[in-house]
Amino acid sequence: MLSGLSLLLAIAVAVVFLIVSSSKLKWHPFFGLLAAAAGLGLVIGLDLPTVTGLLKEGFGGLIGAVGLLIVLGSVIGVSLERSGAARRIADLLIGNGSHPGLRLVVLGAVISVPVFCDSGFIILAGLLPALALRAGSKIAPLALSLAGGLYLTHTLIPPTPGPLAAAANLGADEFVGTIMLLGAIVSLPVIFVTWKASGWLGNRISAVLPAQPEGEDAPPLPSLLQSLLPLLVPILLIGLGSVLKLATDGIGTEAYILWLCDPTVALALGCVPALLLPSSGTKASWIGDGLALAGPILIITGLGGAFGAILKASSLADDVALWAGEAALSPTALLCLGWAVAALMKTAQGSSTGALVIASGIIAPLLPLAGFESATDLALMTLAIGGGAMTVSHANDSYFWVVTRFSGIEVADAYRSYTPLTAVMGATVLVVVVLLGWVI
């Protein structure tokens, strides 16, 4: 089986093939991902039955994890759009219309603390067309702002599972409060950079707005409370579940409450007020359109999981652990190494949570070499790894496909906008963490 530099070269070729197949050859992402995943598996030395098994395992595993979320979120998004609730919420979010991109970055950053970024974008993407019309802005910069804000705290601030797992691996699980506080401090300059970068990158691409129905009278707008309930119900339930998991043991009555707070159950409950929104059409058409929207996303997302499964079966993690174990590093260098290992794992296998878990496990034995023992040191290391875990998002990341499909950004344009945005965000996190390490 390939290992070391040969393996890195093979992964690099597979990533380049993904980019070229969609942007130059105009292949559908389905065939590009399938060919890249299967080809990489064979090149690194896996036999054909093993490759086939990993493709099916990775596809099914990721669909099982996010499939219902995508379907239910699609139904909520279509309901918000068709009922006019999206326009009502746009009035609340945009206000006087100033700095809508900044408002979306902040909104995403707040929501993604308790809610997975995939779920958050699926829930909120239905607002983008109305927000763009209300603010007189292109949709692409707003979509990137929302995607970046959600992505930021997803990898940095507990109780999101990835940062919590990294903290546990690093022995910092007793310092979650410190990680949350420093994570909020680190997020402030990154929010500003995300806003500016989203505007600059988004203005150079286009996003296709959903087709508007013709020949129908616009229904009266629902009330603000009616419009907000489909969003607030799942967001508040998922947030409550995250808090309860930290504060309780999940036994007895608490177990039933936690079941209600499961993201899938929470989104299903959010569909109830969504489908009760007033409409001049039939609610069955909303559900049908939501399912039609979710289908292609499910297929592409599953293939992203298949690509990741091939990478996880390689020796990449062992190679990185071997290279890292040979280094004796200063505190700043160790922070940079933690960021770099997480960035490599994120870029190679797609999952931010997986990158956080793997990188923290690799770095943990090296902490004594730099004297990392205090709550501040361990929190900064957790944040450095979190910054690496957002660098960079591309075709093997399910969130990449959620962002492209729900925002109307073409895949080739996403490589020119969303992917470099995540690189800029991750690099900014590293710079801020290193500066904080020098100051405190």
Taking only the tens place, the pLDDT of each residue in 72-94 is 888 887 888 778 787 677 667 66
pLDDT of residue 362: 73
- DSSP track, 9-35: HHHHHHHHHHHHHHHTS---HHHHHHH
Q: How far is CA 76 from CA 56, 149, 323, in A?
A: 29, 21, 47
The residues spanned by each domain of the chain are 11-208+220-314+391-429
Do 416 and 205 form a contact (C-beta atoms < 8 A)?
Answer: yes
pLDDT of residue 221: 80
Do 144 and 206 form a contact (C-beta atoms < 8 A)?
Answer: no
The answer to whether residue 304 scores a pLDDT higher than 80 is: no
Query: Is this model's pTM higher than 0.85 or not?
Result: no
Model confidence at 194, pLDDT cuts 50, 70, 90, reads very high
Q: Give the integer Cα–Cα distance in Å for 255 and 344.
A: 37
The answer to whether residue 162 scores a pLDDT higher than 80 is: no
* Mean of the per-residue pLDDT values of the chain: 82
Tokens 């797992």 belong to which residue?
165
pLDDT of residue 324: 55
Please indicate whether residue 243 or residue 438 has the higher confidence score (pLDDT).
438
User: What percent of the chain has a predicted confidence (pLDDT) above 70?
Assistant: 88
Find the helix packing angle between 263-275 and 224-247, rounded to 10°: 170
Tokens 């280094």 belong to which residue?
327
The answer to whether residue 214 scores a pLDDT higher than 60 is: no
pLDDT digits (tens, 9 = 90+) for 381-425: 999 999 999 998 988 788 998 898 888 888 889 999 999 999 999
429 preceded by cis ω (within 30°)? no
**Count of beta carbons in the 10 Å neighbourhood of residue 161:** 15
Range name among 55-64, 250-259, 326-335, 396-405 with the lowest pLDDT average:
326-335
The answer to whether residue 17 scores a pLDDT higher than 90 is: no
Spatial CB neighbours of 98, under 8 Å, sequence gap ≥ 6: none
Please indicate whether residue 181 or residue 339 has the higher confidence score (pLDDT).
339
Please indicate whether residue 130 or residue 415 has the higher confidence score (pLDDT).
415
